[in-house]
Amino acid sequence: MKKLLVPLLLAVASASATAAPVTYTLDSSHSFETFQYRHMGLSFVRGRFDKTSGTITLDQAAKTGSADIVIDVNSVNTGVPKLDEHLKGAEFFDTAKFPTITFKSSSFKFNGDTLASVSGDLTIHGVTKPVTLTVSSFVCTEHPFKKVPACAANAEVTIKRSEFGVGNYVPVISDETRLEVGVEAIKE
């Protein structure tokens, strides 16, 4: 038994040491990007973007990764159609000129085997700034129905919208805006 076990353990160790990066495609029906800001110092207004696409490449053995995420700003959804149209207009997102928000990263920070943060460039309204998203949840496992590798994460960052050219009505509408990114991705 020992004669069989040693070669098997060496093969497993060798395979994990040479593990290659794996690319995952975002599952848009299970990825959910939201935002939240304070309205007139009173309530919090929340919204989401219903259409997101992109890829995440992950090398868990090397503890590295990259992300390329594209959010369709025309899919903004606050539950109030008039507000959605206002947000799409020239005073805010100006989707006629800037139809997407993008996040591109090649800097994943791990705490042991757990993804802790992702740093990269966030582009809103044609303005690109570096941001670091704090990861609150991260899991990679076999997808229970598709039987392929899948990963999911939840992360957040607070930005000042004025730094991205969408600062109208500050301070009546808070400058600080919390972005939450929830992604689920399947191996390509």
Per residue in 42-98, pLDDT (tens digit) is 889 999 999 999 999 999 899 999 999 999 999 999 999 999 999 999 999 999 999
Distance CA 14, CA 9 (A): 8
Q: Is residue 7 part of a domain?
A: no
| Range of the structural domain that residue 182 is part of | 19-187
How long is the chain?
Answer: 188
Q: Is residue 6 part of a domain?
A: no
Q: Is residue 5 part of a domain?
A: no
Q: Are 55 and 24 in contact (CB under 8 A)?
A: yes
Q: Is residue 2 part of a domain?
A: no
Contacts 24+ apart (CB under 8 A), 11-18: 16/61, 17/61
Please compute, for residue 32, the number of CA atoms within 13 A of its CA located in the half-sphere on the CB side: 4
Kindly report the CATH number assigned to the domain that includes residue 65.
Answer: 2.40.128.110
Cis link prior to 144 (omega < 30° from 0)? no
Please give the pLDDT value at position 17: 46
Please give the pLDDT value at position 187: 93
Instruction: Give me the residue label for tokens 């997102």.
Output: 93
Q: What is the mean pLDDT of residues 128-140?
A: 95
Beta-strand runs (E) in the chain: 22-26, 32-39, 43-49, 52-59, 64-72, 76-77, 100-111, 114-124, 127-142, 149-160, 176-187
- Tell me the pTM: 0.86
Domain count for the chain, please give it: 1
Q: Are 86 and 48 in contact (CB under 8 A)?
A: no
8: pLDDT strictly greater than 70? no
125: pLDDT strictly greater than 60? yes
Q: Are 27 and 186 in contact (CB under 8 A)?
A: yes
What average pLDDT does the structure give for the chain?
89
40: pLDDT strictly greater than 50? yes
Q: What is the mean pLDDT of residues 115-144?
A: 95
Please give the pLDDT value at position 12: 39
Q: What pLDDT band is residue 19 in, cutting at 50, 70 and 90?
A: low
Give, as one character, the DSSP assignment of residue 92: T
69: left (phi over 0), alpha (psi -120 to 50) or beta: beta
Q: Is residue 13 part of a domain?
A: no
Please give the pLDDT value at position 15: 40
101: pLDDT strictly greater than 60? yes
For residue 144, give the 3-state DSSP assignment: coil
Q: Is residue 85 part of a domain?
A: yes
Please give the pLDDT value at position 5: 37
Distance CA 81, CA 40 (A): 20
136-166 tens-digit pLDDT: 999 999 988 889 999 999 999 999 999 999 9
